[in-house]
Structure 1
Amino acid sequence: MDKGKDNKPHIGIYGRRNVGKSSFINALSGIDVAIVSEIAGTTTDPVKKSIEIFGIGPTILVDTAGIDDFGELGTKRIQKTIQTLEHIDAAILLISNNVFDSFEQKLIKEFNNFDIEYIIIHNKEDLEKLRDETALKIKQFSKAPIEICSIKKSQNIGEVIELLKITIPETSYQKNTLLGDIIQKDSIVMLITPLDSEAPDGRMILPQAMAIRDVLDNNAVNIVLRETEVETFFEKTSLLPDLVITDSQAFEYVNTIIPKQIPLTSFSIVYAHMRGPFEEYVNGAQKLSELENGDKILILESCVHQVSCEDIGRFKIPNWVRKFSGKNLEFDVAAGLSAIERPIKDYQLVIQCGGCMITRKQLFNRLKPALEAGIAVTNYGIAIAYMNGILDRVVEPFLKEQINSNH
């Protein structure tokens, strides 16, 4: 599937109506990407703006409606604003005119509930400066950094960006490493990349492309081939890779032709180890052996794509789970960050994809209701490995500090 990269850090911009949220976004981006008006409530639904912030990189800014909106429509807008908290990595709370009261305090409580790091900015300093008593009131309620700013005069934007750089969780914007903790210099890594109908024409899916680059960044050696060429490779060379990474769908075949002494895992599992609740995924796979007739399973896809008959989440995994369990089961699929239709407690198991299209924060918030409810969660690759009886083998590379090169 062709996956445009959307795992950039998401920064939510929050505050009352007319505190300057849209102007603030324009000041950060350096161009007018948001509609600015003196009329309160210009921004209605949350809107994403993709920009580049020096020192952070490609970033998604989420412009939200005012938290003090009113009326039936205003209440719905506030609900939309609160829903964005599930998807952001950091937040900026804008205030002005020394107003810091119940609306701001309620929002900060929501930030804390979602473990969101945030900063507070007193905007429109050119009109009314932040008073000492207001600053004291804020500090009594919150430990977040406070910055003053005048968007119209472009004052202190640099200081705001510096605050963002230390506020956004490091793994959200700095380069993540897929393999740096399990390979070393001169390791030989074999990447087995099937090209089925879901593979993008002329390109590779994101985890495969990231793995190739990560091997190079760690001064190791890439061997990239399709699953149909693996046997030929071993027939024509005596070279033994230090690590083999395959598409999870090829586990059954690849496991039989890769010598047992060679560590084996999959792109999905590598990505899950870097980004997901890995231990919970591994433990949750056991639920596949405990399913009963009528149980409901939720499939979480982090991307939105055109569905085909070879779709792993919608067709292959449900069919494999039914065959493995021998039970009559129900499956629901939630794509992207769309709402989950049933109450989470209706499900006996949640199976999450690799999550390459969302941030780590978004993935954990997506799984948080299930984990808090004690519902088993696992990952595509780990589930497939478990059903093929090779889970111990494919998680073993992550139980060692680093794979030693034999060369």
Structure 2
Amino acid sequence: MTEYRPTPKSFRLHIGIFGRRNAGKSALLNMLTRQQVSIVSDVAGTTTDPVEKPMEMLPLGPVLFIDTAGVDDEGALGAMRVKKTRQVLDRTDLALLVVDSDRWGVFEEQLLAEFHQRRIPVIVVFNKVDVARPDATLLAQLDQQKIPYVFTAAIRHEGLESLRQALIQNAPEDFINSPPLIADLVQSGQIVVLVVPIDKEAPKGRLIQPQVLTLRELLDHGALAMVCRDSELARALESLKEPPVLVVTDSQAFAQVARVTPPHVKMTSFSILLARQKGDLNEFVRGALAIDRLRPGDHVLVAESCSHHPIADDIGREKIPRWLQERVGGKLHFTTVQGHDFPEDLSPYRLLVHCGACMWNRREVLTRMELCRRAGVPICNYGVTIAYTLGILDRALEPFPEAQRVYRELTRSAPVAT
């Protein structure tokens, strides 16, 4: 029996549903999904935490709807709910601003300004139009600002088709044309060797997400993929009649794979592939050079996009901290965050090391990179960090000429670490 593998969240268009309490956000989600996903009640504030619903929405394909608590929630608990709602903004590709048709005011204007600042496309959904209609002057203003809007009566399932059409018309181009993971690095018929260590962190009976995504993209583009463990890499390379165009390894095996892979064969890691696809590889390379500016006693933030139970010699909690401290020559203080949790104040940290974010969409990674830029905190991802601490980053960037050029320029101009 073939195991069903759902589309990862990272490949779904993230559609956030925002608005006041009791504007009909949950009813709208239930209408869109044709399921009772969220509890609907006349009591304001029924939705307390973001509710996620993945689905296939043709012709867009896989999407993820996120129903949020009202941004006008009150009190201490309400403030916590609003904070959770604002975290959803970090990963929203397309926003739905749900409005009671006759209740447009300062909350809606503030949300529109927030969407505009973050460059998030938005569709205004005037809900409950069976009870009241929006003011004609307001509609004229939205038309002038070229902000799309639709009319719905979600509780009665009215307006669904016009909303679906608006979603299709306003889906961001960077979702439709998402960056490739590996397909642009190889041609049909060329050989790529994927090095997959089988250790404590390898899930029993399956591959981890970055390996699956890379293998699938190679197959989709007609490339030939050879998969082996790090301990069998030398034999695998010897068995090939012609050398591979690329070797991709798990970052934890970087040092061994670099020793075994011939100098004329390009080499990189799954995590560095993700660094390019999910974020800005050049910026991660710049962040790597900040490692040599660390001093014993500095604070480093480690961010993991998924929640998992740490195991012995965990990559983010033990291996990377150990390699960084060996490079720095003293003890560093590490703080780890998981999932969508993220400090509001980044000022205590001298470096942020982020995982590959294989389960996230690109917008959330770019949002975190922007937060780091504003705070003046360098950011690097796992694969780039590991390659730099091992002294092989230049080689690991060979498949990416622009990033390698950035690295070489920076290292030529950087002062010698003392």
What TM-score results when the alignment is normalised by the length of structure 1?
0.91
Secondary structure of 1:300's counterpart equals strand
Q: Determine the C-alpha separation between the residues in 1 that align with 2:6 and 2:32.
A: 27
Q: Who is 2:408 aligned against?
A: none
Q: Who is 1:29 aligned against?
A: 33
- Structure 2: which 5+ residue stretches go unaligned? 404-418
Q: Determine the C-alpha separation between the residues in 2 that align with 1:48 and 1:312.
A: 29
State the structure with bigger RCO (CA 8 A, min sep 6), 1 or 2: 1
- Structure 1: which 5+ residue stretches go unaligned? 402-407
Q: Determine the C-alpha separation between the residues in 2 that align with 1:63 and 1:379.
A: 30
Contact 2:271 2:356 in 1 (8 A): yes
Q: 1:239 aligns with which of 237, 242, 246?
A: 242
Q: Determine the C-alpha separation between the residues in 2 that align with 1:182 and 1:66.
A: 45
Q: 1:180 aligns with which of 172, 180, 183?
A: 183
Q: Determine the C-alpha separation between the residues in 1 that align with 2:237 and 2:183.
A: 26
Deviations along 1:21-79, one digit per CA (max 9) or x if unpaired, are 11111100011111112233322332223333232333322222223333444444333
Deviations along 1:260-294, one digit per CA (max 9) or x if unpaired, are 11111110001111111111101111111221121
Q: Who is 1:123 aligned against?
A: 127
Q: Which amino acid aligns with 1:374?
A: G
Across the two proteins, how many residue pairs are aligned to each other?
398
Secondary structure of 1:195's counterpart equals coil
Contact 1:199 1:205 in 2 (8 A): yes
Q: Who is 1:322 aligned against?
A: 325
Q: Which amino acid aligns with 1:30?
A: R
Could you tell me how far 1:101 is from its partner in structure 2?
Answer: 1.3
Deviations along 1:77-97, one digit per CA (max 9) or x if unpaired, are 333322321232221001123
Q: Between 145-154 and 285-294, report the one with greater CA deviation.
A: 145-154
Contact 1:98 1:134 in 2 (8 A): no
Q: Who is 1:404 aligned against?
A: none
Q: 1:353 aligns with which of 350, 355, 376?
A: 355
Secondary structure of 1:110's counterpart equals helix
Q: Is 2:119 the partner of 1:112?
A: no
Q: Who is 2:21 aligned against?
A: 17
Q: Determine the C-alpha separation between the residues in 1 that align with 2:161 and 2:29.
A: 13
Q: Determine the C-alpha separation between the residues in 2 that align with 1:202 and 1:313.
A: 23
Structure 1 pair 289–67 and aligned structure 2 pair: CA distance change class (3 A): closer
Secondary structure of 2:95's counterpart equals strand
Could you tell me how far 1:175 is from its partner in structure 2?
Answer: 6.7
Q: Determine the C-alpha separation between the residues in 2 that align with 1:139 and 1:98.
A: 17
Q: Determine the C-alpha separation between the residues in 2 that align with 1:317 and 1:168.
A: 38
Q: CA RMSD in A?
A: 2.3
Q: 2:170 aligns with which of 167, 170, 177?
A: 167
Q: Who is 2:372 aligned against?
A: 370
Q: Determine the C-alpha separation between the residues in 1 that align with 2:120 and 2:402.
A: 32
Q: Which amino acid aligns with 1:223?
A: M
Q: Who is 1:39 aligned against?
A: 43
Q: Who is 1:343 aligned against?
A: 345
Q: Which amino acid aligns with 1:63?
A: D
Q: Which amino acid aligns with 1:9?
A: L
Could you tell me how far 1:171 is from its partner in structure 2?
Answer: 4.4
Structure 1 pair 241–73 and aligned structure 2 pair: CA distance change class (3 A): closer
Contact 1:51 1:58 in 2 (8 A): yes
Q: Who is 2:289 aligned against?
A: 286
Secondary structure of 1:308's counterpart equals coil
Secondary structure of 1:181's counterpart equals helix
Q: Who is 2:106 aligned against?
A: 102
Q: Who is 1:65 aligned against?
A: 69
Q: Determine the C-alpha separation between the residues in 2 that align with 1:50 and 1:360.
A: 17
Secondary structure of 1:297's counterpart equals strand
